[in-house]
Amino acid sequence: MRRHRGYINLGLGACVAVASAAMATDAPSVHVYNWYDYIGPTTLHDFKRDSGIEPVYDTFDSAEVLEGKLLTSRSGYDVVVASNYSLPTLIQAGALAPLPRDRLPGWKNLDDGLLGKLADNDPGNRYAVPYLWGTNGIGYNIDKVRAALGDNAPVDSWDLVFKEENLARLGECGVAMLDSPSEMLPVALHYLGLPPNSTDAEDYRKAEALLLKLRPHIAYFNSSKFISDLSNGNICVAVGWSGAMLEAKTNAEQAGNGVKIAYSLPKEGAPVWFDTLVLLKDAPHPAQGLAFIDYLLRPEVIAPVTEHLSYPNGNRAATALLNAATRDNLAVYPPASAMATLFTLEPLPKATERVRTRVWSKVKNGQ
């Protein structure tokens, strides 16, 4: 899953310096590959200080880039941040090394409930450690949605965006959705009472019919533009990632523009995703890779990452270290009742992926 953020992490400049230093010395090093702007501003510096290991840090901006690098050649990386959606493909390809838990003392800090959901993509939790996670739901402009649909607007339900009479009214103030068939079509299937990871072509025809009916009321499909548009009041509803909606909310508050944003996790259930830490099978520095993973399992290390990025972590012991505003924010840490409704996404057979791609093309083009 792509996690867009609208500003540059100042820590990335330090990362380049750290990487250069590692190349210029014989110090032990660990090579890390992570999403762009997806770590705390001092995490890498602190790891070097505390361990004596130089982190050589590179970034990517799409899961396709990551999978292409890992599946076609020796990447030279030790630790990679991979989405749960990519795990089955990487495991089947033999790209990942099983994690020896006796080398990861911090494993005991992980949340058992989250590990259970992650096991859908990593059976037995053999290969992946939860890093950050989140949900896909609805971000909305409180005042504009109320003006369009009244005080009883179904903001806690997918009915808000999948019932045509609602979307027609909201379309007047602007609705955006992720440009991602692997994330949007499962939600449409789930709304129709069908398996979100269906391999039945007939199910996708039903999802196509639903979305084509709604298409005239959707302003655009884009996986980054909605953040600024929501915070600026240019649109009133977006379907996207929890952390992105919290970013839009924060941006609006800092701008003082009067735009009030909220995030809703629909009561019918929604996708939950994990970005995980994995050790590559051909890692050139496996011991240092395990040391880096275990460092991020320390509560005092991962808590500031959550504070910085507004995405929850999988570390149960870190929760008490968070600010109350983060810890008690149900958009960041959903209650147990909501967690029980969440589902993970899975890679599909190539034939189904082709069906899904064709459906999405039709939906985006409106025909």
Kindly compute the dihedral angle of the four CA atoms of residues 119, 120, 124, 128, in this order, to the nearest 10 degrees. Answer: -50
Token digits of residue 120: 């859908």
Instruction: Read off the pLDDT band of 355 (50, 70, 90).
Output: very high
CATH topology of domain 11-134+273-336: D-Maltodextrin-Binding Protein; domain 2 (3.40.190)
Provide CATH 3.40.190.10 ranges for the chain. Answer: 11-134+273-336, 135-271+344-365
Q: Does 10 score more than 60 pLDDT?
A: no
CA-closest candidate to residue 344, choices 293, 243, 275 = 275
- Give the containing element (helix H, strand E) for 139: strand 128-141
Radius of gyration of the chain (CA): 21
Q: What CATH class is the domain 135-271+344-365?
A: alpha beta
CA-closest candidate to residue 271, choices 229, 239, 306 = 239
Give the whole-number percent of the chain exceeding pLDDT 70. 93
CB 58 within 8 A of CB 32: yes
* Beta-sheet pairing, 54-60 with 220-221: unpaired
* Beta-sheet pairing, 272-279 with 128-141: antiparallel
Compute the distance between CA of residue 83 and CA of residue 132 in angstroms, rounded to an integer: 10
The predicted-structure confidence for 38-95, as pLDDT tens digits, reads as follows 999 999 999 999 999 999 999 988 777 888 888 877 899 999 999 999 999 999 999 9
What pLDDT, on a 0 to 100 scale, did the predictor assign at position 11?
40
Instruction: Read off the pLDDT band of 8 (50, 70, 90).
Output: very low
Between helices 43-51 and 286-296, what is the axis angle to 10°? 120
CB 77 within 8 A of CB 283: yes
